[in-house]
Amino acid sequence: MSFDMKEFERRMDGAVDNLKKEFSGLRTGRASVNFLDPIVVEAYGSKMPLSQVGTVNAPEPRMLTVQVWDNSMIKAVEKAIRDSGLGLNPMQDGSTIRIPLPELNQERRQELVKVAGKYTEQGRIAVRNVRRDAMDLLKKLEKDKKMSEDDQKRKSDEVQKATDKRIELIESLLSDKEKDIMAI
């Protein structure tokens, strides 16, 4: 067993990339097909991402459509969208579900900022979990005499620097997203 700093950095970067993906789904002024990414549909006895049961499009700035591939799934997709907590009211139009996006009032913007805050906290936790895993491995390697105390200390400092850098980036992403959401 060895310590690979690159692997821990890759995992931390994965947490940051995941946060960016979550943020891309938080809409600001116009419809984004990523907005529906977090929605999961009860389909064929299991839970599936919406993208696996239909095609999402943004035909207008304030309208999304979902072209459901299997007509028997339309009600399940509609229910998943309605129950998603995103404040959407889908309407069936044949095999297409039309989703008008409500105007962003001040209250809705503040809700979106709170959601962004939750995503950010999940990102921070993910990065800290990677740090904890790295620190635990370093302690184990030192305890098992596979690494000197000095090496362990030096590597611990590297891990902490990498963690601080990712947390700073996450804070910056949140700040930018809050400005984006609150801009009228």
Mean pLDDT of 137-152: 93
Cα pseudo-dihedral 134, 139, 144, 146, rounded to 10: 60
Residues 182/109, Cβ–Cβ less than 8 Å: yes
Residue 55 scores a pLDDT above 80: yes
Which residues make beta-bridge pairs with 96?
Answer: 67, 93
Q: What is the mean pLDDT of the chain?
A: 88
- What does the block give as tokens for 149? 């105390």
Residues 138/156, Cβ–Cβ less than 8 Å: yes
User: What are the extents of the domains in the chain?
Assistant: 5-23+105-182, 30-100
Question: How far, in Å, CA of 101 to CA of 103, rounded?
Answer: 7
Residue 10 scores a pLDDT above 90: yes
Compute φ and ψ for 47, nearest 5 degrees: -95, 130
Summarised one tens digit per residue, pLDDT across range 109-120 is 888 888 899 999
pLDDT at 184: 59
Residue 133 scores a pLDDT above 90: yes
Mean pLDDT of 116-138: 95
pLDDT at 132: 97
Q: 170: buried, middle or exposed (CB in 10 Å: 19+, 13-18, 0-12)?
A: buried
pLDDT at 150: 93
Query: Coil, helix or strand for 13?
Result: helix
Question: How far, in Å, CA of 81 to CA of 154, rounded?
Answer: 49
User: pTM of the prediction?
Assistant: 0.68
Summarised one tens digit per residue, pLDDT across range 76-104 is 999 998 888 777 889 998 889 999 887 77
CATH top-level class for 30-100? alpha beta
Residue 38: closest CA among 29, 48, 53: 48
pLDDT bucket at 63, cuts 50 / 70 / 90? confident
CATH number of the 5-23+105-182 domain: 1.10.132.20
Same fold flag, 5-23+105-182 and 30-100: no
Residue 134 scores a pLDDT above 90: yes
CB atoms within 10 A of CB 105: 9
